[in-house]
Amino acid sequence: MLVNCAAYRNGQRVADIGVSDIRAHLREPGGFVWVAVKDPDPAELSQLQAEFDLHELAVEDARHGHQRPKIEEYGSSLFVVLHLVEPRGDELTVAEVAIFVGPQYIVSVRSNAEVGFTDVRRRCEHEPGLLCHGPAYVLYALMDAVVDRYFPLIDTLTREIEDIEERIFASQTTRETIEALYSFKQRLMVLDHAISPLIEVTSKLHGGRVPPICAGLNDYFRDVYDHLIRLDQATDNLRDMVSTALSVNLSLITLQESEVTKRLAAYAALVAVPTMIAGIYGMNFTHMPELDWRFGYPAAVGVMVAIDGYLVYRFRKAGWL
CATH number at residue 27: 3.30.460.20
The residue among 82, 97, 129 that closes a domain is: 129
Residue 235 falls within a domain, yes or no?
Answer: no
Give the pLDDT band (50/70/90) at residue 261.
confident
**Residue 64 confidence (pLDDT):** 84
pTM, full prediction: 0.78
Task: Please report, for the domain that includes residue 266, its CATH number.
Answer: 1.20.58.340
By the 8 A CB rule, do 173 and 249 touch? yes
Residue 265 lies in a domain: yes
pLDDT of residue 206: 82
In a domain, 139, yes or no: no
Does the residue 276 lie in any domain? yes
Q: Does residue 220 form part of some domain?
A: no
Residue 252 located in a structural domain: no
Q: Is the confidence at residue 142, as pLDDT, over 90? A: yes
- Evaluate if residue 171 carries a pLDDT over 70: no
CB atoms inside a 10 Å sphere around CB 127: 13
Domain boundary among 72, 95, 129: 129
3-state secondary structure 114-155: CCCCHHHHHHHHCCHHHHCCCHHHHHHHHHHHHHHCHHHHHH
pLDDT reported for residue 140: 92
> Residue 165: in which H helix or E strand, if any?
helix 150-169
Mean pLDDT across 192-198 = 90
State the pLDDT confidence band at 149, using cuts at 50, 70 and 90.
very high
What's the rounded Cα separation, in Å, for the pair 113 and 194?
14
pLDDT exceeds 90 at position 304: no
**In a domain? residue 244:** no
Domain count, the chain: 2
Summarize the confidence of residues 86-110 as an average pLDDT. Answer: 88
Last residue of a domain, one of 86, 113, 129: 129
pLDDT band at 128 (very low <50, low <70, confident <90, very high): confident
Contacting residues for 297 by C-beta, under 8 A, at least 6 apart: none
Q: Which domain holds residue 295?
A: 259-318
In a domain, 162, yes or no: no
Q: What is the pLDDT of residue 231?
A: 93
Model confidence at 223: pLDDT above 70: yes
Average pLDDT, whole number, for the chain? 85
Q: What residues contact 28, with CB distance under 8 A and at least 6 apart? A: 7, 9
Q: Identify residue 278 by its one-letter amino acid code.
A: A
* Per-residue confidence (pLDDT) for residue 172, from 0 to 100: 61
pLDDT at 173: 64
Angle at 206 (CA atoms; ends 97, 56), nearest 5 degrees: 40
**Cβ count within 10 A of residue 99:** 24
